[in-house]
Structure 1
Amino acid sequence: MSDFHLVPHPDKPSVAVTAITVSVTRSGDTLTFTYAVDGDLNRVSWPAPAAAARTDDLWMHTCFEAFVQPVGHAGYVELNLSPSGRWASYAFDGHRQGMRDAAAIPRVAWSRPTMKATVDLSEIGGMAWRLGLTAVIEASDGSKSFWALEHAPGAPAPDFHNADCFIATLPAPTAP
């Protein structure tokens, strides 16, 4: 298991959240993410619980995300994980290019202040991965903060798809 600390975009600080930590565990081609949020959680706009379903535009409200890219490849998978239980998974051929639904179907569980998601990524499995871990936090006043492992230097706006921000690595699974 690896633990990572997200940082807010310098131009988009949070009025409610003070820290987000993500624990990541890989077992073969399955990843488990545990996002833990600290701060004044009553000032966060949390999505209402909903039936698990593929849903677009989750990133427009409080949402946790992961970008998984096989090392040495331009393509990647984006996972959007809502505390509501809704999710989305997209495959890209390159930076915001060739977007389509991915085969991955995450299982999301929310127990404030922690969200856990497990997903099988066999479609890009068997190799080492680079990760971008991110979150969009919407405060009750409507403001949004954008959190990532790292933000692209000098970028005036957050770009979670920028592969320069995929700074975590997970080795390829070992044979049993």
Structure 2
Amino acid sequence: MQTHVLVAHPAFPPVQVRGMEARVIGHDANWLRLRWRIEGSAGLVVPAFAGKGRADELWKTTCFEAFLQPEGGSAYVELNLSPSERWAAYDFTAPREGMSERAMPREPDCTMRQGSSFAIFDAAIPAAGLPNAVCNLGLTAVIEEDGGVKSYWALAHGAEHPDFHDPACFKAQLAAPPGA
């Protein structure tokens, strides 16, 4: 699977984080598996373990996000995935419009591993809770470092301020799962 380099929004540079990559590591009829790798993670603020469950406002600290927009439409799905194991899923009818909670058949699985100079965040999202189509894909992250410094990472940024809902961020493509 292809590795995508994420870039920090220039208005919010990181302090110690030197780079980030995201990739789809698996996609079948059961799961969409995503991985983010953070280089320079010594000062990374990782939310405390909270156990599985839905939660809002995960983006206020270190959080990983995916946006899936079926090709040819304006509606999309937003997934927020936290190292705390909390998660959220929303439907939007258009950029930042018509937000509603998205039903999921089961909870995503999330794990965070930290090395001496890098961290890896893995997420497995139930495919039955996602669009069953070819999608434009946005892979993003909010990274908090010591001292409350936050940086906003995406495949691309299309605005003066960070906005992961901007279609300019949906630069990757995700094939429909096998058998779709």
Normalising by structure 1, what TM-score? 0.91
SS of aligned partner of 1:141:
helix
Q: CA RMSD in A?
A: 1.6
* 1:26 partnered with 2:23: no
2:172 match: 168
2:81 match: 81
Deviation at 1:29, TM superposition (A): 6.4
2:112 match: 110
After superposition, what is the alpha-carbon deviation per residue over 1:58-113, rounded to whole angstroms, capped at 9, x for unaligned?
A: 00101111101110111111111111111111111111111111123321112221
Compare 46-55 and 164-173 and name the one that shifted more: 164-173
Is the Cα–Cα contact under 8 Å of residues 28 and 127 in structure 2 kept in the other structure?
no
2:39 match: 38
Structure 2, gaps ≥5 residues long = none
2:49 match: 49
Number of residue-to-residue matches in the alignment: 173
Deviation at 1:38, TM superposition (A): 0.8
Is the Cα–Cα contact under 8 Å of residues 28 and 173 in structure 1 kept in the other structure?
yes
Q: Which amino acid aligns with 2:164?
A: F
Question: For 1:150, which of 135, 145, 156 is the aligned residue?
Answer: 156
1:119 match: 125
Normalising by structure 2, what TM-score? 0.90
Question: For 1:133, which of 136, 139, 144 is the aligned residue?
Answer: 139
1:100 match: 100
Q: Which amino acid aligns with 1:5?
A: V
In structure 2, distance between residues paired with 1:66 and 1:100 = 16
SS of aligned partner of 1:42:
coil
After superposition, what is the alpha-carbon deviation per residue over 1:109-135, rounded to whole angstroms, capped at 9, x for unaligned?
A: 122211111112435433101101100
1:64 match: 64
In structure 2, distance between residues paired with 1:173 and 1:119 = 13
Deviation at 1:28, TM superposition (A): 3.2
Is the Cα–Cα contact under 8 Å of residues 85 and 110 in structure 1 kept in the other structure?
no
In structure 2, distance between residues paired with 1:29 and 1:167 = 24
Q: Which amino acid aligns with 1:73?
A: G
Percent identity of the aligned residues?
42
